[in-house]
Amino acid sequence: MERERVCGIVRKSDIPHGVRRVDYDQQQIVPGFIDLQVNGGGGVRFGEETSVEAIRVITSAHARFGTTKLLPTLITDTPEITALALEAGRQARTAKVPGFLGLHLEGPHLSLERKGAHDPSFIRPMMAGDLAAICAYRMNAGLVLTTIAPENVTTEQVAALVASGVVVSIGHSNATAQTARLYFDAGASMVTHLFNAMSPLGNREPGIVGAALDDGRVFSGLIADGVHVDPSTMKIALRSKAPPGDIFLVTDAMQTIGTKLAGFELNGRAIHRSEGTLKLADGTLAGADIDMASSVRFVHQVLGLPLEQALAMASSVPAKALGLDGQYGQLKPGFAADFAVLNAQLECTQTWVEGQELIPLGCPQ
């Protein structure tokens, strides 16, 4: 490694003298995981806390499970909280917080009909000021992904976001397949947590699910915890996705990751943690209780995907979805020196971020 990048992959006998050697014996060194949808970790939810330190705790919590880059995700909230989140992202980039890649704004411009656990009182149409703030962040502060619904955002607004370098994803929407295609034509290139909180694939109406699977321009995130999407449905989607767009793993993790929390509050509503799920009192899923290493194990061991494909879904594919496939997601010369060490059970035993052996912060129990 040379500074923050990989400078070469060589045989043991070709390692230069004087270079530090770390022997992981029979463990595997794999590209670091990239998670494009992380609501929280280490006891902290982004939005409830909007600071550089909050972002640092979240990235550190997920690093324990092999995630070397992530997008702290702000779910639907007030304009004031959104502004604070954008400022925290600016400061995190300036501070070079290990693992911080950019921001994901999941709302507030979503559909009420497909709101999921998002607070309906905060959902609203995208206004000129919202558009300007997101575009300004992208141009001046760094990478940003935003999830929007056609019900509350126009194709013209999507085109303006994309022209500024913002990655636009369709989600939390009941749009028809025809409408989804219009938004893909306008530049939307992703679908947020495929199958969840969106119009389903039907025999006469393909919905957003069908439009995304049938369109090679579109990448789709997938929560692989066996709860959000049935394993059989996952396998069908993976077999049917039109290339070159592909399906990648996201955790949609909440603040429970890295902790023993039994539950928490979300906008004044109690969220209960039980047997790998996070739910409101009415049974609505509220994010996920899974880390990326566990997601990789699930698609490999339960779905039967080759390990190489499972690892790619957590690394090179999300990098490609963001247009960063020349910098992240692979162990190649010139790429970021981000990697995880996995034991025989595919559990993460060590994480390196940009050439630095990461020591995770302590997490609340």
Alpha-carbon gap, residue 173 to 196, rounded angstroms: 10
Segments of 107-212 assigned E as strands:
144-148, 167-170, 190-191
SS3 343: coil
| CB-count exposure of residue 362 (10 Å: 0-12, 13-18, 19+) | exposed
- Of 215, 98, 106, 119, nearest to 167 by C-alpha is 106
Catalytic pick from 252, 289, 291, 338?
A: 252
Q: Retrieve residue 206's tokens.
A: 């393909």
Q: Which backbone phi and psi does 323 adopt, to 5 degrees? A: 75, 25
Strands 190-191, 219-223: pairing kind: parallel
- Residue 357: phi and psi, rounded to 5, are -70, 115
Q: Find, among 240, 250, 183, the residue nearest to 216 by Cα.
A: 240
Task: Report residue 84 as tokens.
Answer: 């604070």
Quick one: 343 exposed, middle or buried, by C-beta within 10 A (0-12, 13-18, 19+)?
A: middle
Per-residue burial over 42-79, b if 16 or more Cβ lie within 10 Å, else e, is: bbbbbbbbbbbebbbbbbbbbbbbbbbbbbbbbbbbee
191 is written with which tokens? Answer: 């679908």
Catalytic (active site) residue 23: no
Query: Catalytic site residues?
Result: 252
